[in-house]
Structure 1
């Protein structure tokens, strides 16, 4: 089982990513990219259910 998430805000705004090794939405996710420049961010889950139209779990950027 896997989940698909959409990141909102911050450096990953609009990115849709699948996590094949996760079978439930977690309270927070760590996102990173190494190329072309290194970027890292923490995102928090929005809501208790995935978006009914897309089936994507939504995660919002949080500044640290």
Structure 2
């Protein structure tokens, strides 16, 4: 099972990724790639995925 995540704000704004999780975690760490300094911590918005898109939304919580 997997979840689809949409990142809002910060360096990953608008990025959609799939994660092999059974449930959405409270926060996620995002980095463009290993050699890139663009990274940040994102916090889950809400207790359910978006009712229209089915995406879990995560808001930028700050650079790391």
Deviation string 1:5-59 (CA, Å, 9 cap, x unpaired) is 0000000000000002x11000000001127743110000000100000000000
Q: How many residues align?
A: 63
Displacement over 2 Å in runs of 4+: 34-38
Counterpart of 2:6 in structure 1 is 6
SS of residue matched to 1:29: strand
Structural mapping, 1:1-64, within 5 Å: 1-20=1-20, 22-34=21-33, 37-63=36-62
Query: Normalising by the residue count of structure 1, what TM-score does the alignment of the two structures yield?
Result: 0.89
Unaligned runs of 5+ in 1: none
CA RMSD of aligned residues (A): 1.6
For normalisation by structure 2, the TM-score amounts to 0.89
